[in-house]
Amino acid sequence: MGTEHSIDRGESTAVHRAVRAVRRNRWTGLIVNITPSAFWLIVFFLIPLGVMFYYSFGQRGAFGEVLLGAEHLGLQQYELFFVPPDASVPEAIWWTVAWIIEGLTPVELGLAAGEPTPYVQLTIKSIGYGLLATLVSLAIGYPVAYYIAHVAPARYQNLLLILVILPFWASFLVRVYAIQILLSRNSILTTALGILPFYETGQSLMNTQFAVLLGLTYIWIPFMILPVYASIEQIDFTLQEAAMDLGADRFEAFRRVIFPLSMPGVVAGSILVFIPTAGAFVIPELLGGPRSQMIGNFIANQFGAAGNWPLGAAASFVLMGIMLAAIGIYQRYGESDLA
């Protein structure tokens, strides 16, 4: 060993010096650690997204093939998506706004001369599903989070939290199937609902908008409870006493002190619920009927039976735009509250 070492000495010190130089270089660690993941995320995530973005500017040929030559590229898919055939852009915007207003009010107002495209209607309906699921999750999840964080005996807190998280680990599809059983004809739930005056005993609730909403809430409500819990858990409840000493009753103290302090959790939970519910695909597919499909199903359909890939790609990017907008709102209002 010793002799060998001395023979190779000149060469090995050169190698050593090179190795040491590489090791000393402050970028080596970064490059070694970041390259595999960066490669993977760029090649198998970013580039595919780019490919889809490119497709969204293409056209569908007469035989369902995708035309991507320079002469075919354009915004036609987005135009088809947003603008009704016989309308101008300002008209399309007004028709969309009017359609939303009319959807929110029970009476016929007859505000606009036309309706937005079916694609826009579907998108707005999907956002509506997402918002409703978020609101319902908040309404029934907030009290639970409050209970776990502040009311329940400390020794049960961990157990109660585990019980909220546990369903998340059980299979997603199995839980959707469980809801399907619960909503089907003559199940425990549909039979029990027979005590309601307007409800026919045992009638199936499957393939309705209610079924989709229930499924969305059932799957995603843990994502509301956990961040709200984390927020409430950190609140200093002597502030509540202080508010009450200063003359607030319990409701006022909650509304003006405790609830604002829990806002970061509420905002985070709302984002965590809204994003997956607005982009849902499986739940409307399995629980909803033809009238309760969402934009996720539309996208899948364009790449399947309907066979219009460019339109499906454009719809995907509309959906992504909605998600990014939601995250933008979160960063604007969520984090400023955290400070």
Partner 1 sequence: MSLADDPSLWQRVRRVRSRIFEHGTVVLAFQALLVYLFLYVPIAVVIALSFNDSRYAVVWQGFTTEWYEALLTGETVARVNPAAAFQSLVYSIEIAIVTVLVSTVFGTMLAFALDRYEFPGKGLFIGLVYMPIIIPSIVMGISLLLFFNIIGMSLGIGTAMIAHIAFGISFVAVVVAARLQTFDRTLEEAAKDLGANELETFRYVTFPLIKPGIIAGALLAFAMSFDDFVVTFFVIGRENTLPIFFFAMVRQGISPGVNVIASLIIVATLLLVALAQWIEGPIW
Looking only at residues 142 through 171 of this chain, which bind partner 1 when binding is defined by CB under 8 A? Answer: 143-144, 146-148, 151-152, 158, 160, 162-167, 169-171
Which of 198, 251 has the CB closer to partner 1?
Answer: 251
- As measured in angstroms, the least distance from the Cβ of 11 to partner 1 is 22
Looking only at residues 178 through 197 of this chain, which bind partner 1 when binding is defined by CB under 8 A? Answer: 178-182, 184-188
- Residues 57, 312 contacting (CB under 8 angstroms): no
Which of 37, 238 has the CB closer to partner 1?
Answer: 37
Q: Distance (Å, rounded) from C-alpha 124 to C-alpha 24?
A: 56
- As measured in angstroms, the least distance from the Cβ of 235 to partner 1 is 16
- As measured in angstroms, the least distance from the Cβ of 114 to partner 1 is 30
- As measured in angstroms, the least distance from the Cβ of 8 to partner 1 is 21
Antiparallel, parallel or unpaired: β 66-67 and 59-60:
antiparallel
Residues 6+ apart with CB under 8 A from 287: 176, 179, 180, 183, 206, 207, 211, 212, 214, 215
- Residues 133, 277 contacting (CB under 8 angstroms): yes
Q: Distance (Å, rounded) from C-alpha 203 to C-alpha 197?
A: 13
Helix axes 89-104, 118-146, angle to 10 degrees: 40
Looking only at residues 215 through 274 of this chain, which bind partner 1 when binding is defined by CB under 8 A? Answer: 218, 221-222, 249-251, 254
Looking at residue 83, the DSSP 8-state letter turns out to be S
- Residues 253, 247 contacting (CB under 8 angstroms): no
Q: Distance (Å, rounded) from C-alpha 138 to C-alpha 255?
A: 15
In sequence order, what are the beta bridge partners of 67?
59
- As measured in angstroms, the least distance from the Cβ of 96 to partner 1 is 22
227, 264, 312, 334: residue in contact with partner 1 (rule CB under 8 A): 312
175 forms part of the interface with partner 1 (CB under 8 A): yes
Which of 116, 279 has the CB closer to partner 1?
Answer: 279
Looking only at residues 30 through 69 of this chain, which bind partner 1 when binding is defined by CB under 8 A? Answer: 30, 32-34, 36-38, 40-42, 44-49, 51-52, 55
- As measured in angstroms, the least distance from the Cβ of 263 to partner 1 is 20
Number of residues that bind partner 1 (CB under 8 A): 82
- Residues 280, 199 contacting (CB under 8 angstroms): no
Residues 49-83 as b or e (16 or more Cβ within 10 Å = b): eeebeebbbbbbeeeeeeeeeeeeeeebbbebbbb
Residue keyed to tokens 């309760």: 292
- Residues 84, 115 contacting (CB under 8 angstroms): yes
Which of 84, 288 has the CB closer to partner 1?
Answer: 288
- As measured in angstroms, the least distance from the Cβ of 84 to partner 1 is 25
Which of 23, 155 has the CB closer to partner 1?
Answer: 23
- As measured in angstroms, the least distance from the Cβ of 130 to partner 1 is 11
Which of 230, 263 has the CB closer to partner 1?
Answer: 230
Looking only at residues 79 through 138 of this chain, which bind partner 1 when binding is defined by CB under 8 A? Answer: none
